[in-house]
Amino acid sequence: MAAGQAAQADARVLLLERMDRPGRKLRISGKGRGNVTNTDPIPEFIAHFGASGLFLRNAFSRFLSGDLIAFLEGIGVPTASERGGRVFPASNSAQDVVDALVDWTQRCGVTLRTGVRVQRLLLRGDAVIGVETYGSHEGAPFHGDTVIIATGGASYPATGSTGDGYDLARAAGHTVVPIRPALVPLETAGETALRLEGLSLRNVRLYVRAGGKDLAEAFGEMLFTSYGVSGPIVLSLSRQAVDALRAGRAVTLSIDLKPALDEGKLDARLLRDLDQHGRRHFQTLLKGLLPRMLIPICIEQTGISAHKEANQITSDERDRLRAWLKGFRLVVTGYRDFSEAIVTAGGVDTRQIDPQTMASRRVRGLYFAGEVIDVDADTGGYNLQAAFTTGYVAGRAAAKAAMARQTDAQAAPAEEDGP
């Protein structure tokens, strides 16, 4: 997006791609379907980015989902909206988005070179004048009036995003907020998750807690794995869990298995079931309340005998069952690494980037776009939109600045030779 927009603004553009082909991470986004954006209005859209959302307000006001959808339609990628405002290519293929973008950049006049890894920025005083690469083209540097770093984060390193952009930014004097996995599965203590591996819970409410306080909550679907939990609501809440763990705090997950019923209504439901099915064993009664795989876990954790008849269950046992249904707990011990994280939290400090142009406040002619910046959001198309938006803004601003530098250079009088 950055390269094509710069070329459309009449700049000569060279796109250097570390991998053998561009857009490898985009190809696998949305499980290969490419959840490119979300139709939420700006206030809700920004809210999904938390504190970093304010940095994107100006950029989003210039290029958001409607603009992206129109752009994609214009380069031959019709889209379709789904539940929750999620937008996908109508073909359900992220590959189609990549192919269309590559074709568009080439039609715009962008020169694409693959298999070229940038080693460092070339600086003269407070301005960037190009890049030096790792041995490509006999190690010859590439010179330019502006440089855009759009290297992505550190998640899914097999796609080429191994954190190169952070090193380039640091070397240029930028602060990089410590990076950590985001939208990432969580690891839990004990064997509970392993015993429930493959179980998907829908329409539950999940709370992340630390120090006796709720940090965040989400409603929806979650999945048990051999090591812990994953799924949409776990990924959405993982940022809070990861940050709390990194701060040395004890983190627990509390699952409300009956969020549609408050304590009073759930208690009334349990009393009714116990009265109507008084001769049934407790484990049989639970079949009407829980998925099969959860029943032995419930029996163990509530301490109620599996073979106890319903009409023999005491009020204390009923209270324990109600509390467990409203707060099935797991202790979080860790999180998966960058190879399983959808996005990277942290990155180039937004205070050192102009939000109107994505230009560095430290180095003249340097710009940033995408996940290398310290912005990240929930799942649902928000992160890809941020990448497209910052690419759009950076590309057009960098082209304008490059043209101005060329004009200034042409107007400057030639330096006289020294003695």
pLDDT tens across 57-103, in order?
999 999 999 999 999 999 999 999 999 999 999 999 999 999 999 99
CATH topology of domain 2-181+343-408: FAD/NAD(P)-binding domain (3.50.50)
22-33 pLDDT, tens per residue? 999 999 999 899
User: Which SS3 state, helix, strand or coil, does residue 151 take?
Assistant: coil
Residues 6 or more apart whose CB falls under 8 angstroms from that of 127 comprise 363, 364, 365
pTM value is 0.90
**What percent of the chain has a predicted confidence (pLDDT) above 90?**
91
pLDDT of residue 406: 81
Whole-angstrom distance, CA of residue 223 vs CA of residue 241: 16
pLDDT of residue 151: 96
Q: Which residue has the higher pLDDT, 321 or 51?
A: 321
pLDDT of residue 408: 77
317-334 pLDDT, tens per residue? 999 999 999 999 999 999
pLDDT of residue 407: 81
**What percent of the chain has a predicted confidence (pLDDT) above 70?**
97
pLDDT of residue 138: 54
Whole-angstrom distance, CA of residue 38 vs CA of residue 46: 11
Whole-angstrom distance, CA of residue 147 vs CA of residue 363: 10
Residues 6 or more apart whose CB falls under 8 angstroms from that of 136 comprise 113, 115, 116, 117
pLDDT of residue 413: 62
Residue 415 has pLDDT above 80, yes or no: no
The whole-number average pLDDT for the span 246-274 is: 97
pLDDT of residue 230: 98
Residue 416 has pLDDT above 50, yes or no: no
Nearest alpha carbon to residue 317 among 365, 285, 355, 350: 285
Grade residue 185 by pLDDT with cuts at 50, 70 and 90.
very high
pLDDT of residue 414: 53
Whole-angstrom distance, CA of residue 322 vs CA of residue 303: 13
128-167 pLDDT, tens per residue? 999 999 875 555 799 999 999 999 999 999 898 899 999 9
Q: What is the mean pLDDT of the chain?
A: 95
Q: How many CB atoms lie within 10 A of CB 241?
A: 24
- In what helix (H) or strand (E) does residue 80 lie, and over which residues does it extend? strand 79-81
Give the CA dihedral 347, 353, 359, 365, nearest 10 degrees: -80
pLDDT of residue 417: 43
Whole-angstrom distance, CA of residue 1 vs CA of residue 236: 26
Q: Which residue has the higher pLDDT, 10 or 138?
A: 10
Contact 151, 164 (CB under 8 A): yes
Q: What is the chain's Cα-based Rg?
A: 26
Residue extents of the structural domains in the chain = 2-181+343-408, 185-335
Residues 6 or more apart whose CB falls under 8 angstroms from that of 414 comprise none
Beta pairing, strands 328-335 & 251-256 = antiparallel
